[in-house]
Amino acid sequence: MNEIQELENYLERTQDPADCLLTEARLLVNSELREHLYWQKQTYALVQHYGRKHIKAEIEVVHKKLFSEKNYSSFQQKILSIFKTKL
């Protein structure tokens, strides 16, 4: 667990400068630690990607509801008037 926390702090740049240098030195001499860092980065990227997809899906549900139900017609007109091109 300490290694995971150390790598997380390193990736997030929350370490003291001295600790950062120590981690960088450990990464230079320890190929296993470099591999763990690689997989930790990959995991963070997947989590971030999943979060974005999830938020996009939620936004799409709200969008469909706001622009398809009649009880939101006043809101629909206000939004459409904002983006209406003026000729």
pLDDT by residue (tens digit) across 7-22?
999 999 999 999 999 9
Please tell me the predicted confidence (pLDDT) of residue 1: 72
Taking the CA atoms of residue 52, residue 56, residue 62 and residue 65 in that order, the dihedral angle to the nearest 10 degrees is -160
Would the pTM count as exceeding 0.85? no
For the residues 22-49, what does the mean pLDDT come to?
A: 95
Mean pLDDT, the chain, whole residue set: 91
pLDDT at position 39 over 60: yes
User: How far is residue 83 from each of residues 7, 50, 60, measured CA to CA in Å?
Assistant: 46, 30, 18
Q: Which residues contact 85 (CB under 8 A, 6 or more apart)?
A: none
How many domains does the chain contain in total? 1
- Domain span at residue 79 reads 2-83
* Cα–Cα distance for residue pair 79/59, rounded to 1 Å: 16
pLDDT at position 87 over 60: no
Q: What is the DSSP letter of 72?
A: G
For 74, the token pair is 């006043």
For 39, the token pair is 């997989």
